[in-house]
Copies of this chain bind each other. A is one copy, B any other.
Amino acid sequence: MTDISTQMLELARRAKTASRILRAMPTEQKNAILLDTAERLQAARAKIQEANAQDLAEAKERGMSAAMLNRLELSDKVMAEMVQGLSEVAALSDPVGEIADMARRPSGIQVGRMRVPLGVILMIYESRPNVTIDAAALCLKSGNAAILRGGSEALRSNLALAAVFHEALKAHDASPDCVQVVPTADRAAIDVLLEQETLIDLVIPRGGEGLIRAVTAKSRIPVLKHYKGVCHAFVDESADIDKAIRVVVSAKIQRPAACNALEGLLVHQKIAPNFLPKAAEALHKEGVKMLGCAASQQFSPHIEAAADEDWGREFLDLTLTVRVVADMDEALTYIERFGSNHTESILTESYGNAQRFLREVDASAVMVNASTRFNDGGQFGLGMEIGISTSKLHAYGPMGLKELTTQKFVVLGQGEVRA
């Protein structure tokens, strides 16, 4: 075994050992650690920003883009958000130990489902070092040991943040192994970790599609991920035109780089003559570039011709595809083909069509008369989220504390045996 193999195996084993303690850690102890970390982060701000400044300087030297440098920076604002996040996670109710569906069975035993931590969670992410604190907080609160592997360009920042978390852990009689940052930029480290299916229970990659595909291909551990967000709005024939325009425009422009921003507009042919000229005008006014089918172009000079490869593209900027469809069947078929199981919304005043859309569309969030931008843990009431899953196993949609746990069965008997 190479040095890095030995080191990573050791790290994963320590996480596994810590997870056994975390499984039974009282809520008050977890909250105390989170709140203490928040306080210590404020006190250590200068030190952390110093480490971050070194990461930034090196990244700049290597020619990192301004946008990426911005993501890497632990500004005062980002530091304040981390502190705020820690208090928010402390305030969330602890999902561990909750027992559901307890019922007595004909045999006499009582059977229920108890919510328990998954065990050890490996987070692999890019750039933003604040994920280190957010992920550590969510893992700790849900009773899981965290192994955190951020971008190599953020290693100094991540280690500085983890050091603060470790101080708080130690101050509350908890092992620093509860939260570990992979202390090397060596890519071989990930490869070793992704093979530890007996030590690590879940991998969550967050970042570009390339990172996520690479992790999924290599991992022997279950992976929760979303590749991309290609979200659509379908304006049904019965839509309220003003309401539909408001929702569509906002879903596109409110934060175009987000994964839940609108990328494609589908319009029922019967409403297209009344809806599209006004909608295209409103979108154009906001600087949105529209790429449409031939039918859609009839209704507005602002709609350019779309190329074949534009359908189903994740633009992540102010570009939108526009397509006129014959009916709801065509809309559903289009979404099935070009959607990414992320977020789909129908604009309609028809009860039946709303029900059908909700039932038949396969996406982590399916909406009626609402902006796709609502697909978010905070907006959905989960508290902070650790990511959005477009995989269907275990979690589908925003992942909060509950999604970092599982349910085991518990049986309360009085000496019962099988007949």
Which of A's residues lie within 8 Å of B, judged by CB? 20, 23-24, 97, 103, 105, 107, 109, 111, 114, 116, 118-119, 201-202, 216-217, 220, 222, 240, 243, 246-247, 250-251, 254-255, 336, 345, 354, 356, 358-360, 362-371, 373-375, 379-381, 391-394, 396-398, 406-418
> Is A365 a contact partner of B409 (Cβ separation < 8 A)?
yes
Bound Cα distance from A387 to B1, whole angstroms: 37
Q: In the complex the two chains form, what is the Cα distance from A358 to B23 in whole Å?
A: 11
* Distance in angstroms between the alpha carbons of A254 and B107 in the assembled complex: 15
B residues in contact with A381, CB < 8 Å: 103, 105, 111
Which B residues lie within 8 Å of A220 (CB)? 216-217
Which of B114, B250, B365 touches A417 (beta carbons < 8 Å)?
Answer: B250
Determine the residue in chain B with the shortest Cβ distance to A356: B24
Q: Which residue on chain B has the smallest CB distance to residue A16?
A: B336
Establish whether residues A359 and B24, one from each chain, have CB atoms under 8 Å apart when the complex forms: yes
28 A–B pairs (Cβ distance < 8 Å), ordered by A: A23-B359, A24-B356, A103-B381, A105-B381, A107-B374, A111-B380, A119-B392, A201-B392, A216-B220, A222-B393, A247-B413, A247-B417, A254-B418, A255-B418, A354-B412, A363-B408, A365-B408, A365-B409, A366-B409, A366-B411, A368-B412, A370-B415, A375-B411, A379-B418, A380-B409, A396-B406, A396-B407, A397-B408
Q: How far is the CB of A309 from chain B (nearest CB, A)?
A: 18
- A368 with B413, Cβ < 8 A, contacts A362-B23, A379-B418, A418-B254 known: yes
Chain B minimum-CB-distance residue to A412: B368
Q: Is the interface of A mostly helix, strand, loop or mixed?
A: mixed
Bound complex: CA of A359 vs CA of B362, how far in Å? 36
Contact B417 A105 (CB under 8 A): no
The complex is assembled from copies of this chain, and their number is 2
Given contacts A107-B374, A111-B379, A222-B222, 14 further A-B contacts (CB under 8 A): A20-B336, A20-B362, A111-B380, A114-B358, A240-B415, A250-B418, A254-B417, A354-B412, A365-B408, A365-B411, A366-B409, A367-B413, A369-B416, A374-B411
Chain B nearest CB, measured from A141 CB (Å): 17
Asked if residues A364 and B408 are in contact (CB atoms below 8 Å), the reply is: yes
* Chain B positions within 8 Å of A216 at CB level: 220
Give the nearest-CB partner of A381 in chain B. B105
**Least CB distance, A117 to chain B, in whole angstroms:** 9
Contact A359 B97 (CB under 8 A): yes
Complex: chain B residue closest to A416, CB-CB: B370
B202 touches A393 (CB 8 A): yes
Residues of B within 8 A of A217 (CB): 220
Task: Kindly name the residue among A109, A220, A243, A393 whose own CB sees the greatest number of chain B CB atoms within 10 A.
Answer: A393
> How far is it, in angstroms, between the C-alpha of A365 and the C-alpha of B113 when the chains are bound?
9
Give the distance in Å from the alpha carbon of A349 to the alpha carbon of B407 in the complex: 25
Please tell me if the beta carbons of B97 and A371 are within 8 angstroms of each other in the complex.
no
Nearest residue in B to A357 (C-beta to C-beta)? B410
Contact partner, A368, options B362, B364, B365, B411, Cβ 8 Å? B411
Q: Are A394 and B397 in contact (CB under 8 A)?
A: no
- Is A393 a contact partner of B406 (Cβ separation < 8 A)? yes
Indicate if the CB atoms of A379 and B107 lie closer than 8 Å.
Answer: yes
Residue of B whose beta carbon sits closest to that of A222: B393
Q: What's the least CB distance linking A255 to chain B, in Å?
A: 8
Q: Is B364 touching A201 in the complex (CB atoms < 8 A)?
A: no
| A380 neighbours in B (Cβ, 8 Å) | 105, 111, 409
A409 touching B375 in the complex, CB below 8 Å, given contacts A105-B380, A201-B392 = yes
